[in-house]
Amino acid sequence: MGWDMYNFAGKVAVVTGAGRRSGIGAAVARRLAQDGAYVVVGDICAPPSDLPSAGSGGWEELTTLAGEIEALGSHSLAVRVDITDAVSVQAMVAEAKETFGRLDILINNAGVAIGPAPVVQMEEEAWKRTLEINATGTFLCSKYALPLMIGGGRGGRIINMASIAAVRPKPFVSAYAASKAAVVALTRSLAQEVAGYGITVNAVLPGDVDTALKQWGLKLEASVSGASYKQVLKAALARIPLGRLATPEDVAQLVAFLASDQASFITGQTYNITGGRELT
């Protein structure tokens, strides 16, 4: 494939928000498995809200992904998890421990953009749910995964999926931007707390990635602006110096590096993966 390969043999990873087989979480899970990791894939497998959103992956998609990982010669466990619920998160970690006995890598990928709108028109529930899933969910997964990771005494990796919106927010997505900025701040604070255990914590900030969430956002932008989907996409591509959307696999390559031994001296950092969009 022309990718640098890393050695995750014997290591166990948890990837949240992996239910969409065409999404970033699924691409990350496959990539870690290709490099030898056993992967727990989690998703809520239900729409997170009645408010407008891109929805989540289904249980069938999640179990199919687990089957794909097994076909790669690795092992996988599919778990239905609500990352906003502490009991559900604890149950996921307990399943990982019972099945694989350890945890080395946590990918906090699950995230949503619910009910984007001008602040004066935004539903309070949309604001609350976006912050709850993106920020509080990342906190809860880290909180309950860390004891297993620390207890193993082998160090570890936490990689949080933020967004370029955390540092270059656009109008009408204030809840999403605020939640991802919170993820960046959590990353920097937590990195200092767990460094003594050999655990690194970093954040990845994707730009425009060709996923169901991005396609939903572009369609929403088209409907609001009165432009066609093709026009909105063309304008989006014009803002990216490299001239294309990222693929989920582009993001997965960066995540794999940060999860690897080669990144053992990198912590508390944020990595834009945008094709240069923030430069324009």
> Which residues are catalytically annotated?
176
3-state secondary structure of 105: strand
In Å, how far from its chain's centre is CA 182? Answer: 14
End-to-end distance of the chain based on CA atoms, in angstroms?
Answer: 31
Query: Mind giving me the DSSP string for 7-37?
Result: --TT-EEEEES--STTSHHHHHHHHHHHTT-
How large is the C-alpha radius of gyration of the chain? 18
Residues with Cβ within 8 Å of 93's Cβ and at least 6 positions away in sequence, in order, are 14, 103, 144, 145, 148
Q: Backbone phi, then psi, for 10, in 5-degree steps?
A: 85, -5
Please answer whether residues 143 and 251 qualify as being in contact, where contact means their C-beta atoms are separated by less than 8 angstroms.
no
DSSP lists the bridge partners of residue 199 as: 156
Count the residues in the chain. 280
